[in-house]
Each structure stands twice: as C-alpha cells, then as structure tokens.
C-alpha cells in the first residue's frame, strides 16, 4: 500500500511514532501554532519542524486524525460609522496517531517501487537514445516540446534515420531503394542479416515487423503532415530507437 509522502514527512511520522514508543509524548497530542510553525505541547525534548501542510499530508495518508481549533477575533473599525470585522484563524490542532502510522513506520512506508516509470519513458534520459536520433531529433524539439508540428518533423526524421540504418546495414548506396524492397534486402531470405536467425519464422517475423513500420509510419509521415500529439510523437521515436538497437545488435552478431 502506498502512502504518497515525501521523505521529510515520512521522517516526521517516524519521529512521532518513536516519541510515543519512547514515552516522550502520548498518542494524542496538541500542536499550537505560532504563525506558520507548530509546537507540540507536553513533549519531552525538541521535535522536528511541524507545519499545517505536513499534518494535512499525514492525515490524508491515514496516519493521524486531526481536529483544528478555530479562534475568532472580533474588532471594530472606524469611529463615525464603525464596522465590525471578524477574523478566524487556526490556533491549534489536536492530533491522534493511528495504528496505520505505526504499521507504516515498521514497514518503512511500503509504497511500491515506482522506479519502473523511468524505464517507460526512455526519452527522459537522453543516454538511452540512439546517438543519431539524439543528434537529429532532440535539437528541433528543444524549440517547443508541446508543438505537434515539431513532433511531426522529429518523427519524420527518426523514420528516415531508421531507413538509412537499414540501407547502411545492407550496404546499399542507391537512395531510391526504399520501403519493402529495402526491408527485404536486410531481412529477406537472401537478405544481409538472413543468417542471423535460427529459424525462418523468426526471420519472417523481423521482416514483417520492419515492413509494417515502413507501411504504417514511414509512408504516412513521408506523404502528409501528421502533427501528432507530443505523447504519440515521443512514443514513435522511442519505438524507432528500439528498432535501431535491434538492427545494430543483429548486425554485430557473427554471421
């Protein structure tokens, strides 16, 4: 179960639980506010900084229950036509630690590992990108990453990079050799990389995959303005990045 707490607020929860277990304070405690900083009443020793936002976060995570004490101040303004002004402020907050707080601390806040997210967004880390993609696509995106027209250009360039890589692997110098014919030069029965596969079905799978990319994406971007949404353009560039890596890995294998 996740708690959605920053490290600082996790540290505050650890301190509160530790203080209760050590007998320095009770599970129910009063926080009095001095401007934006809070002071815990009836606690032995110093405590870490406490803010209203921190207590709000602990309550939202289900670690405490809290009840605010609201103080109302009434004042009169003006002599000839006096007006009554009323202001309210939170003077203190009574909090109670819940069992969930102790369980959270004991499990070291067992939120699921979210490190996988960075692997789902490889463009967030430039070192994951093919050097040629990085050189040719990223500068244009730097001019406005939310502009679909720029993603259109970047995606088109990425597909040309893939086509050029296939042409290079097959040692083809004819720039007019494109599309399915080019794919067959690489992955066909007599293609440049045909001997890299253990079975004909695997080779056919690669040929169909790259031919599909040419038919679905390369032709589309070559003949019209697509202007994809940034997430779609980014996904296509990442997909091309994977195909480039697959091509390079096969080309490096011993034939």
pLDDT digits (tens, 9 = 90+) for 82-127: 777 778 888 999 999 999 999 999 988 885 556 666 666 766 677 7
HSE toward the beta carbon, residue 129, CA cutoff 13 A: 21
pLDDT digits (tens, 9 = 90+) for 164-222: 999 999 898 888 888 899 999 999 999 999 999 999 999 999 999 999 999 999 989 99
Q: For the full predicted model, state whether its pTM sits above 0.75.
A: no
- Backbone φ and ψ for 246, nearest 5 degrees, come out as -60, -40
Give the Cβ contact number of residue 134 at 10 Å. 15
- pLDDT over 90 at 76, yes or no: no
Domain-wise residue ranges, the chain: 7-106, 117-252
CA distance readout (Å), 209 to 197, 213, 239: 15, 6, 12
């Amino acid at each position: 179960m996740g708690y959605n707490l920053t490290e600082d607020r996790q540290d505050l929860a650890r301190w509160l639980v530790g203080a209760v277990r050590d007998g320095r304070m009770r599970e129910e405690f009063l926080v009095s506010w001095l401007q934006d900083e809070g002071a815990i009443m009836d606690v032995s020793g110093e405590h870490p900084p406490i803010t209203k936002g921190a207590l709000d976060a602990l309550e939202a995570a289900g670690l405490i229950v809290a009840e605010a004490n609201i103080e109302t101040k009434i004042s009169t303004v003006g002599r000839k036509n006096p007006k009554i002004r009323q202001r309210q402020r939170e003077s203190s907050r009574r909090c109670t630690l819940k069992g969930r707080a102790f369980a959270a601390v004991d499990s070291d806040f067992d939120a699921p590992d979210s490190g996988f997210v960075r692997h789902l967004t490889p463009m967030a880390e430039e070192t994951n990108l093919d050097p040629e993609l990085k050189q040719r696509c990223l500068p244009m995106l730097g001019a406005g990453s939310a502009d679909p027209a720029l993603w259109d250009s970047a995606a088109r360039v990425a597909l040309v990079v893939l086509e050029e890589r296939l042409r290079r692997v097959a040692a083809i110098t004819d720039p007019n050799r494109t599309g399915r014919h080019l794919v067959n030069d690489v992955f066909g029965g007599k293609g440049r990389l045909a001997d890299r596969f253990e079975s004909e079905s695997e080779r056919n799978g690669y040929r169909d995959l790259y031919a599909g990319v040419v038919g679905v994406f390369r032709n589309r971007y070559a003949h019209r303005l697509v202007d994809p949404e940034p997430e779609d353009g980014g996904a296509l560039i990442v997909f091309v990045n994977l195909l480039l890596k697959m091509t390079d890995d096969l080309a490096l294998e011993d034939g």
